Amino acid sequence: MAAQSLYEKYGGFGKLNKIVMAFYDRLLDSDDLGPYFDEIDMSRLIDHQTKFIASQLGGPASFTDEQLGKAHASLSVTHSHFDELKRILQTTLSEHGFEEHDSDLVMDAVESKRAVIVQGVV
C-alpha cells in the first residue's frame, strides 16, 4: 500500500483551503504584510495559495518557479517579509493540527522558494 501523502493526511483541498483562509486572516492583520493585499482579489489568491500548499504536500496542483517569480516580481518582497510570512504560516499550521515534523516539511518547501519570491534574489 502506498504511503499517505501529507495532502491526504491533512484532509485534502477543502481542509487546506480553510487553513489558507486562516493564514491570510493573520497576514491581513500584519502591519508589515497586510498592505500587500490591499488591492488583491483575495478569493482568487486564497485559491492559488491553497493549490500551491497542496502541491507542496503531494497534492495535484503544481507551480513552476517561473510562475512564482512572475507573480511576485513587482511586490518588492524582502527577506524580513518572507520570514514573517513563514512565522505566520508555521503558527497557522500548528493551530490546525499539523504535527511538528509535517509542519517542518512544509516550511522547508516554502523556504526553497525564497530565491524566486524575495526581491533581488535569483
CATH number at 103 reads 1.10.490.10
Which pTM does this prediction carry?
A: 0.85
Q: Report the alpha-carbon distance of residue 36 to residue 38 in Å, rounded.
A: 6
Residue 47 domain-assigned (yes or no): yes
- The whole domain housing 86 covers 7-117
pLDDT tens by residue, the chain, 122 residues: 568 899 999 999 999 999 999 999 999 999 988 998 888 899 988 998 898 889 888 888 777 888 888 888 888 889 999 999 999 999 999 999 999 999 999 999 899 989 999 966 54
Residue 77 has a CB neighbour count (10 Å cut-off) of: 19
Residue 2 domain-assigned (yes or no): no
Q: Report the alpha-carbon distance of residue 108 to residue 62 in Å, rounded.
A: 16
Model pLDDT, residue 61: 72
Helices 42-56 & 100-111, crossing angle to 10 degrees?
A: 110
